Amino acid sequence: MNEPTTKPAPAVGASQWSDAWRRLRKNRAALVSAAVLVALAVVSVVQPMLSALPYDRADLALGPTPPSAAHWLGTDLYGRDLLSRLCFGGRVSLAVGLVSTGLSFVIGTSWGGIAGYFGGRVDQLMMRVVDVLYTFPLIIFVILVLAFFAHQDTVFYEAFVAVYGLVNERARDPGYLPLYRLFFVFFALGSVSWLTMARIVRGQVISLREQPFIEAARSIGVGHLGIVFGHLVPNALGPIIVYTALTIPEVMLVEAFLSFLGLGTEEPLSSWGLLVAGGAETLDIYPWLIAFPGLVLSLTLVSFNFLGDGLRDALDPRVRRDS
């Protein structure tokens, strides 16, 4: 058949988002990264449900063993299955990344949006708060949060027991304290990573708020909050999404760093950072204990960075290439 094949007509009047999606699809590195991240997330969520080897079941008689048919990635010093620990750690690490970044998204967008929109003294005050928090050392802040709130005498602990008690009747067991403390790691990381987000959103909002369409929105009677969240933030969503994608690996890295120092996730829970920290101690005798967690952590960080770069290119209309 030699019929001339007509190319499908380019999507006439595609919206900004479908346009961005079209450009993202052409970015192979970003697509592969997204696939890797989805795969890692799915395995992390599913494996602990299926595996016969819980992440915290120790077998001291077995001790550390290299990868084998029974333990695909080997076992750690206490004979715990490394694959199970890696997957459970993936849940924690990804959750830290997503929850903390989500928190930073909500706080940063609201804070920056309101400061930028109202301007003047409100802006001055709100941004000086950001400046002060910027100067505050992150580690000290996290230590303070954990020291002040992450013990059993707080209302937060009662709330945790009440909520977690719904699914586990032994919620008050001290063995679950690390899980409780994990929430404060989420909170502490989220509450320090919104600062840059607030600055980015504020800058965007300031450049947008004098636009005629904002005046037009005021002229139909939209209120202040409606303008900030209904009209200004959606316009700034491109940079916000990109920065969010780049914040996730950053937060995960800080979590790994905190765990490495013994401040973040605690045994018997696991996270990728904690596994790397543990593996580093026995680097020369049991190399698989650091090789696998290190590989997965690096892969995730690289993927998020590639995906963030891809999103930035796809959402930036200035680099809009045709065809």
Partner 1 sequence: MSVLEIRELVTEFRTDDGVVRAVDGVSLSIARGEVLGLVGESGSGKSVTSLSILRLLPEPAARIAGGSILLRSKSGGELDLARATKAELARVRGDRVAMVFQDPMTSLNPYLRIGTQLAEVLELHRGMARPEAWERSRAMLEAVGIPDPGRRLNDHPHQLSGGMRQRVMIAMALLCEPELLLADEPTTALDVTIQAQILELVDAQRQRTGAAVLLVTHDLGVVARVADRVAVMYAGRIVEEGPTEAIFAEPFHPYTVGLARSVPRLDTPRGRRLEPIRGMPPRNLGPRRGCSFRARCDFALEVCAELDPERRAVGAEGSRHLVRCHSDDVAKMRATLPGVARRLEVLP
Residue 55 contacts residue 270 (beta carbons within 8 Å): yes
**Cα Rg for the chain, rounded, in angstroms?**
24
Structure tokens at 213: 């369409």
Work out which of 154, 191, 235, 305 binds partner 1, going by CB under 8 A: 235
Binding segment toward partner 1, per CB under 8 A, in 39-47, 223-231, 277-285, 301-309:
223-231
Task: Write out the binding residues for partner 1, residues 286-305 only, by CB under 8 A.
Answer: none
Residue at token pair 């580093």: 280
Work out which of 212, 284, 285, 318 binds partner 1, going by CB under 8 A: 212
Query: Is the preceding omega at residue 268 within 30 degrees of 0, hence cis?
Result: yes
Q: How far apart, in whole angstroms, are the C-alpha atoms of residue 185 and residue 214?
A: 39
Verify binding: residue 231, partner 1, rule CB under 8 A: yes
Work out which of 21, 134, 148, 213 binds partner 1, going by CB under 8 A: 213
Verify binding: residue 216, partner 1, rule CB under 8 A: yes
Work out which of 223, 262, 280, 298 binds partner 1, going by CB under 8 A: 223
Structure tokens at 84: 């199970």
Work out which of 31, 133, 217, 299 binds partner 1, going by CB under 8 A: 217
Work out which of 221, 285, 318, 323 binds partner 1, going by CB under 8 A: 221
Verify binding: residue 161, partner 1, rule CB under 8 A: no
Q: Minimum CB separation from partner 1 for residue 105, in Å? A: 18
* 3-state DSSP assignment of residue 65: strand
Task: Write out the binding residues for partner 1, residues 31-90 only, by CB under 8 A.
Answer: none
Q: How far apart, in whole angstroms, are the C-alpha atoms of residue 222 and residue 219?
A: 7
Task: Write out the binding residues for partner 1, residues 87-126 only, by CB under 8 A.
Answer: 120
**Of 36 and 222, which CB lies nearer to partner 1 in the complex structure?**
222
Q: Minimum CB separation from partner 1 for residue 231, in Å? A: 5
Q: Minimum CB separation from partner 1 for residue 23, in Å? A: 16
- Count of CB atoms situated within 10 Å of the CB of 145: 17
What residue ranges bind partner 1 (CB under 8 A)? 13, 15-16, 120, 211-213, 215-223, 230-231, 234-235, 237
